[in-house]
Structure 1
Amino acid sequence: MNKNVWKKRFYILAGVNIGVLLLLTLYFYSPVPKVDIEKERTAYKLEDSSEFIVRSTKHHVNNLVNAYLDKLLANTDHQFYINIDEEVQLFGEIPIFSSTVPLVVNFEPVVQENGDLSLKQKSISVGDLKLPNKKIMQYIEQYLPTPEWVVINPREEEIYVKVTEMDIKSNFHVAVHAFDLETNNIAFKFDVPYKTLGIDSLAKKGLNN
């Protein structure tokens, strides 16, 4: 009797094990169900370009601007440099009468809707001289060489930086996205034409498909 009971239990256990093994085998080796994923066709913009936001810091922008100023002033006797901290400060010297006097101008940067940057004059000093702000801005316009995309406007007491009209060799289009000195949030928007990367034909092909 005991042998028959144990034999019966053995066969039941063996049958259960075989059944579990078959189920596991069927599960692991059965075909993986196909998942239909609707892929959106890549569509290029009609202007054949893509937009990127590049973030920077006051330190890096400060170094870049001063490197550019050094190049502009290389063949002149004038010295100007920029310090970007809580404000944008312009330091330099301007000739008055037979000597030069130190110049310090504090600007507040204001991002324009079109991506340009306006530097609004907040305070200005020329040594111990008491001169009208507009007159000092005229001196700056006269002695500080600037590219075409930087406009010194004495009447409005501002320096207008036409960032969107900068001539960049890579043909990228640049605009100011953010210029918050208090939070050190400085960002530029780059619009990269596909033809600059040699994929202009691919962009057109993507539009036609």
Structure 2
Amino acid sequence: MACEIIIDRYHTDYGFGVRRGVFAALLGNGIFAQEGPALNHSRELLRKQFIRAQYQNHDHFREHVDNLIARLPINGVIDLQPLFFNFTLDTTTAFLLGRSVYSLRANIDQDSENRLFADSFNIAQEGLAKRFHLAPWHFLYSPPEFWRACSNVHCFVKRYIQERNLQHETKESYGFINQVAEESVGDKDLRDQLLNVLLAGRDTTACCLSWTLHVLT
């Protein structure tokens, strides 16, 4: 309860330190790197979208559950955590962008563009973790493959945003991306918000699934 009160009422009394510099390479100026009025705006913006999402039809997630089950062997030992990370990447991209990257179908029928995004997102996320551990000397971790991965992720999301702008799809088709776009300052702001939610939606859910199975077994 005390932590909830501090986060809700007194978060302006605390700063994020070098977090913005650590995360900016991949996440830009999204909610994980913001403070003050910008943070308040993002919190309110995303809160409204998640309230709406509670009442949406999520039947399309069934496809990804089926893909997850199909990857489970009948016999033997299996490490479920990588599969859970692929599963939540697939469901989160479907929820945010309106289309999944189908990482659970890698080496089956996943197209090259989706595979590049999934691989790049993993590399970029691992790079953020290393930079975070090095903070405030995070700038020392700057390999070319990290920056290429961040660029690939940005380009992938940018293409979805451009498609939305050109095709004027319905809210039902694009869902979350359309709703956030209505209150975003521009395409970069929209991209940053989507990537921040993608990071949170993928990792927290995958870790929750992993720990749940660990406790139950």
Structure with bigger helix share is 2
- TM-score if structure 2 supplies the norm length? 0.22
- TM-score if structure 1 supplies the norm length? 0.23
Which one has the largest radius of gyration? 1
Bigger RCO of structures 1 and 2 (CA < 8 A, at least 6 apart): 2
Structure with bigger strand share is 1
